[in-house]
Amino acid sequence: MFFRTLVATTILAGLAFQAAAADTITVYTSQPQDQMTKVIEAFNADHPEIKVELFRSGTTEVMAKLQAEYAAGNSPADVILIADTVAMTQLKNDDRLLAFTDAPVAGINPAFIDADKTFFGTKVITTGIIYNTNLVKTAPKSWNDLLAADAAKSLIMPSPLYSGAAVIHVGTVTQQPEFGWAYYEKLAEAGAVAGQGNGTVVEAVARGEKAYGIIIEYMALNAKKKGSPVDFVFPAEGVSSITQPVAVLKGSDQVEAAKTFVAWQLSKAAQVQAAAQGYFPILPGVAQPEGYPALTTLKILPADSDAMLKADKETKEKFAELFGG
């Protein structure tokens, strides 16, 4: 009797473990930790049956970890959410992403969705200029305003060696005939510097260590909202943009739970939360963050993601040559 009870208990414990494991997904992301904590809380309010484990770092480190794990055999990651369409395209080309053909994308601009439905934009993020309002009396209006000697020597920007958003921004700017690499060469000659991610930029400008920065808009506007002496400009020539794509990784052993997380990212609940966190939502009918211009009024600089991917190594090497790595 004791033996049968022991066996039954062991079997039940094993089944309980399997159930728990089946409900656990691992998300690799570059989205800030404090935001992801709230994202997971909101997701679990709708899907308490799925536990989410998180690895969070800059896009470059996320990709390096993922590639190292693949080289060693496999990765525990089920979902990837990064601010870098180029890196996501690389994963697709390497056959690392699972097509989610029945994802709930009704009403979402097709431009935000991979044609093969392997990854999906979750929000729109633009890059512009942050400045310290205690140090700058006349707000810049143009990317070219940063070339002025007094501006350039007090300018900090994120590095594409660390930040996915910076990869897109540098790649976009250097594709524009009116800028090219000559623009960054002039900034470097005049004393501009690079930090790591966008967080280093907003901190340096908010503290007054630098007067100007190149940064994604929500970090600057969130800092302003919290009382930092900063403001943000959408430059007249246009802004680069990213959609922070999300995808299910092909090696996932929790595909259905991973798809549930991806589908939730495209839902109204997630989009309302994204707007509250300072992002332009991609879902029609969801109000944009207070104080933001209508997305339709912004000039979005054209960008060729395939060309960026082909030039990725060269771009990072050139940037490191100019600003250090």
Q: Which residues are annotated as a binding site?
A: 218
pLDDT given at position 98: 98
What's the Cα-to-Cα distance from 113 to each of 1, 19, 301, 303, 312, rounded to whole Å?
59, 33, 18, 15, 22
d(CA 68, CA 53): 19
158-184 per-position pLDDT tens digit: 999 988 889 999 999 999 999 999 999
What backbone torsions phi and psi does residue 205 show, to the nearest 5 degrees? -75, -40
d(CA 155, CA 93): 36
d(CA 317, CA 309): 14
> Domains in the chain, please, with CATH?
2-122+244-289 (3.40.190.10), 125-241+299-320 (3.40.190.10)
Higher pLDDT, 10 or 126: 126
Residue 9 is predicted with a pLDDT of: 42
For 19-42, write each residue's pLDDT tens digit. 444 589 999 999 999 999 999 999
Chain centroid to CA 190 = 29
> CB–CB of 174/198 below 8 Å?
no
pTM of the model: 0.80
Longest dimension (CA), the chain: 86
Q: Name the 3-class secondary structure at 260.
A: helix
Q: Across residues 100-105, what is the average pLDDT?
A: 96
pLDDT tens, residue by residue, 57-97:
988 899 999 999 999 999 999 999 998 888 999 999 999 99
Average of pLDDT values for 256-265?
Answer: 98
pLDDT of residue 18: 41
Mean pLDDT value of segment 204-213: 98
Q: How confident is the model at residue 310 (pLDDT cuts 50, 70, 90)?
A: very high
Which residues define the annotated binding site for Fe cation?
Answer: 218
Helices 33-46 and 255-265 cross at an angle (nearest 10°) of 110
* Distance linking the first and last C-alpha atoms of the chain: 68
What is the pLDDT of the chain when averaged over all its residues? 91
Which of 136, 81, 84 is closest to 264 using CA atoms?
81
